[in-house]
Amino acid sequence: MIPPQESPPKEVSAPPLPATRTDLRAQLRPLLLGVPLLTLLTGAVFPLVLAAFARPLFPDRADGSLIVRDGVVVGSELIAQNFSRPGYFHPRPSSAGDGYDAAASNGSNLGPANPKLREAVRDLAEAYRHTNGLPPDAAVPIDAVTRSGSGLDPHISPANAALQTARVARERRLAEEDVRRLVAEHTLGPQLGFLGAPHVNVLALNLALDRAAPLSAAR
Amino acid sequence: MRWLEYAVFLGLVVALARPVGLYLARVFEGQPTFPDRILRPAERLLYRLLGVSPEREMTPGIYLLSFLAFGALCTLLLFVLLLVQQWLPGGPDDRHLSTPMTPDLAANTAVSFSTTTTWQAYGGESTLRYLTQLVGLVAQNFLGGAAGLAVGMAFIRGFAREKATTLGNFWVDLVRGLLWVLLPLSLVGSLLLVWQGVPLNLSPYAEAQTLEGSPQTIAQGPVAALEFIKNFGTNGGGFFNANGAHPYANPTPLANFLGLLAIAIVPASLPITFGHMVRRPRAGWLLLAVMVVLFVAGLVVCDRAESAVPQRLADLGVDGGNMEGKEVRFGVGDSVLTAVVTSNGATGSYNSMYDSYQPLGALVPLLNMLLGEVVFGGLGSGLYSMVMVALVGVFMGGLMVGRTPEYLGKTIGAAEAKLVALFALLTPLVVLPLTGLAAATEAGRAGLVTNDGPRGFTEILFAYASCMANNGQTMAGLNANSVFYNLTTLLAMAAGRFALATLALMLAGRFAAQGRKEPTIGTLPCDTVTFGVLVLGTVVLVGALCFLPALALGPIAEHFQP
């Protein structure tokens, strides 16, 4: 932060001790003025100064990374939305509100010994195998059958995407190789090579699929 | 890969401890620093407006009263703001605010944010106006953090000074903490968060039409204004209900990593500030070393518990670590690292849901909070909590060899020993009866809407431990927005902030008034490995004696539950 200086110049060192003292009455004004004044400094001036820099520099991010297609807001790059059609990659299950409610973020909060957790994971795993045409004993990537902390996790793991690739390719009449390439293009992380885990953005990937082979035209 | 991230994080924190620690010492000793040219005029202006004479210092009593009165007035202001927020202009639209701001919730939230606990019995996007989030919560994140840092500095001065009657000036420490530390770095940090994707707007909630054609309402707001200072001020309460798990609050692993550094760097540097100001740098490094050992121990246990395939799901054919309640971009590694950093750092900004952690995984954050957050800890409070543990260790060591215990040349006489003991016992004295009360009453058990059995008990214990430690993180399966929980957690939060700081300042006042004894052959040296082991042993021993029975009913019982 600064070059450490062990021995500062003498004339500016700490105030001499014992210092002059202040009394209790003298604290009333700093208290009564300080609370509102510092509240405004930190709660109003600070956000305004921040906005003056951040909003012009990163306008899209500041406005929530919303994605507009044909003049319609179709969602946010950072917020999961539900996909259930077989031609789309599916996000993780959600417990935000009634599912993917981006005004009510939440996890399931089910404890590891809660029977409801086991039942949910069992049902979700069965449904996942069925949807993707996997044998009943196939291992399922755990992110596909567990609910994220926010319920709005916009990502799935590369392993989860790989198991959905064949289904999406078939529905879109695309070569599996092409879909795999799209998945790879939308796979991020670990950031800077060591932060976090690899992840695939579901909405961005599905938008790219719609551009490559529109669902309605394929059918 | 996750171990590389753990190592880089810890390496950065330790590498920055010295430069940051020395910078803090210069800031709070009023010595020249590089941003002086810009900040000195602003500082002088503030003093003139507030009527503060910066060269006049306070006795421990006046310092304490100023801190308490400041906290009380901040609480009152926020309480009023919360009660009138329904009439405030601006978003979000009333139809999104489904949680009513009852007086008990407002009181709880006011105390919660003025004490840096930032326990949230509500979900941000369904309860609060943007204006409340900014003028109420963002401001308190700064002010509470700065006030805690001020008390930490006054505490250090108690050890640094000899035959002194004063501990500094609270207003000066407050203003310097804000201008030299919290505000400028928060500006940079928040800007980086927006770059990573955190929104900063006052727009209405966005109405989207999804690709499959259904409507989706997406909460917006001035999120970035809160999300950096919530970590940097060791507060932790997030803009949204899911806090750091929400992809708007914490969009990328890099944003998460910045948040973790923001939590740990200043508290981890304060031992170095301490060592520098008492002119015993090695004693400061030793405290930091003890913190690092405890940190690594917790990290290893939590990582082991969470990275394995969940034991009770293994036969269902799932592959991977425990991802219930975790986000894919973070994976198990970032989630576990965040759990350990936030639970040690008095910062409740979790990015994964503890209620879905494995029993031993959840035990680690719980224990970190119960031990008083001595590893890094909150701004200021972390240091005095760690020194208190060292004092307990010194006292026990003194008893063993039959000599009057001393630490850094300060004698721990009968009065000092009583203050130290009270400090050490206050956490169990508050947390355990309240947990018992909640577990024994209908009103308390009514909060268990998601889980029961040992996990339900752990939720309750976790809530009071979190509030007493001024941490604020939660096992969110507990429905804590009831009159019972709002009032009992309020009590724990106030005790954790004001009672512990009172004891710390009283002790600092007594030490400041003492001279300094020269070390003799019989003095227990406080910068050796032996002393480090003694302090470590004290942490573990005191923690085990106080909390083992409660932990046995919660996470330990659950671990062995079929």
% chain B with pLDDT above 70: 100
Residue B8 has pLDDT above 90, yes or no: yes
DSSP lists the bridge partners of residue B218 as B206
Kindly indicate the confidence band of residue B402, based on its pLDDT and cuts at 50, 70 and 90. confident
What pLDDT is recorded for position B501? 96
Reported as type and span, the H/E element at residue B286 is helix B281-307
Which of A4, A44, A61 is opposite residue B134, by nearest beta carbon? Answer: A44
For a pLDDT cut of 90, what percent of chain B falls above it? 93
Q: Residues near A123 by Cβ (< 8 Å), separated by ≥ 6?
A: none
Residue A216 is predicted with a pLDDT of 65
Give yes or no for a contact between A155 and A199, defined as CB atoms under 8 angstroms apart: yes
Among chain A residues, CA nearest to B95: A103
The pLDDT score that the predictor gives to residue A20 is: 75
Alpha helices in B84-208 (DSSP H): 103-114, 130-131, 139-160, 170-176, 183-196
Q: Mind listing the pLDDT tens digit for each residue in A159-198? A: 999 999 999 999 999 999 999 999 999 999 899 999 999 9
A15 touches chain B (CB under 8 A): yes
C-alpha torsion B143→B145→B151→B156, nearest 10: -140
A90, with CB counted inside 10 A (0-12, 13-18, 19+), is: buried
The pLDDT assigned to B469 comes to 94
Under 8 Å between Cβ of A64 and B201: yes
pLDDT above 80 (res A146): yes
For chain A, what is the mean pLDDT?
Answer: 90
> What is the pairing mode between strands A140-141 and B318-319?
parallel
Among A54, A141, A156, beta carbon nearest to B194: A54
Residue of B59, B65, B322 lying closest to A21 (CB–CB): B59
Do B169 and B401 touch, CB atoms closer than 8 A? no
- Asked if A191 reaches chain B (Cβ–Cβ under 8 Å), the answer is yes
State percent of chain A over pLDDT 70: 89
Instruction: Estimate to the nearest angstrom the gap between the alpha carbon of B51 and the chain centroid.
Output: 31
B203 and chain A: CB distance < 8 Å anywhere?
A: yes
Chain B residues inside the 8 Å CB shell of A44: 134-135, 139
pLDDT at A10 over 60: no
**Which two structure tokens, joined as six digits, stand for B419?**
């203050």
CB-CB contact of A150 with B247 (8 Å) = yes
Which residue in B211, B252, B256 has the most chain A C-beta atoms within 10 A of its own C-beta, making it the best mutation to test that interface? B211
CB contacts of A55 in chain B (<8 Å) are 200-201
**A187, burial (CB in 10 Å: exposed 0-12, middle 13-18, buried 19+):** middle
User: What's residue A68's pLDDT?
Assistant: 96
How confident is the model at residue A218, as a pLDDT? Answer: 40
Burial class (CB within 10 angstroms; exposed 0-12, middle 13-18, buried 19+) of B467: buried
| Structure confidence at residue A11 as a pLDDT band (50, 70, 90) | very low
Chain B, window 305-334: residues with a beta carbon less than 8 angstroms from a chain A beta carbon:
309-313, 316-334
B57 DSSP 8-state letter: B
Question: pLDDT tens digits, residue range B52-75?
Answer: 999 999 999 999 999 999 999 999
Average pLDDT, chain B: 95
Task: Give the model confidence (pLDDT) of B223-255 as tens digits.
Answer: 999 999 999 999 999 999 999 999 999 999 999
CB A93 within 8 A of CB A124: yes
pLDDT at A23: 86
d(CA B355, CA B429): 25
Predicted local distance difference test score (pLDDT) of residue B146: 97
Question: What value does the mean pLDDT take over residues B104-112?
Answer: 97
C-beta atoms of B451 and A191 within 8 A: no
Contact B161, A17 (CB under 8 A): yes
Q: Kindly report, residue by residue over A51-105, the tens digit of the pLDDT.
A: 999 999 999 999 999 999 999 999 999 999 999 999 999 999 999 999 999 999 9
Judged by CB atoms closer than 8 Å, whether chains meet at A54 and B74 is answered as: no
Nearest-CB residue to B126 (from A34, A77, A104): A104
- What is the distance between the alpha carbons of residues B466 and B478, in angstroms, rounded to a whole number? 13
**Residue (of B243, B490, B286) closest to B407 by Cα position:** B286
B337 in Cβ contact with B258 (< 8 Å): no
Res. A17: pLDDT tops 50: no
Tokens of A70: 């044909």
Helix, strand, or coil here: B123?
coil
Q: Which of B412, B393, B401, B396 is nearest to B535 (CA)?
A: B393
pLDDT score at B485:
97
Using the CB atoms, write b or e for B3-40: b if 16+ within 10 Å: eebbeebbebbbebbbebbbbbbbbbbbeebeeeeebe
Beta bridge partners of B209: B215
The DSSP-derived string for B421-490 is HHHHHHHHHHHHHHHHHHHHSHHHHTTBSS--HHHHHHHHHHHHHHHHTT-----TTB---SHHHHHHHH
Looking at this predicted complex, what is its ipTM?
A: 0.95
Inter-axis angle of helices B331-344 and B359-370, to 10 degrees? 20
DSSP string, B192-255: HHHHHT-----PPPEEEE-TTS-EEEE--SSHHHHHTHHHHTT----SSTTGGGSTTTS-SHHH
The dihedral region occupied by B236, where left means phi > 0, alpha psi between -120 and 50, and beta the remainder, is left
Quick: pLDDT tens for B445-476.
999 999 999 999 999 999 999 999 999 999 99
Tokens of B291: 């913190």
Query: What is the model's pLDDT at position B524?
Result: 84
Q: Please give the helix or strand (H or E) that residue A200 lies within, else none.
A: strand A199-201
Return the percent helix, strand and coil in chain B, to nearest 5.
65, 5, 30
Q: Kindly list the residues from chain B whose CB atom is less than 8 angstroms away from the CB atom of residue A90.
A: none
- B312 and A125 within 8 Å at the Cβ level: the answer is no
Beta-bridge partner residues of B486:
none
As a whole number of angstroms, the distance between CA B159 and CA B507 comes to 10
Check if the beta carbon of residue A136 is closer than 8 Å to that of residue B159.
Answer: no
Q: What is the pLDDT of residue A214?
A: 87
The closest alpha carbon to B327, from B223, B246, B238, belongs to: B246
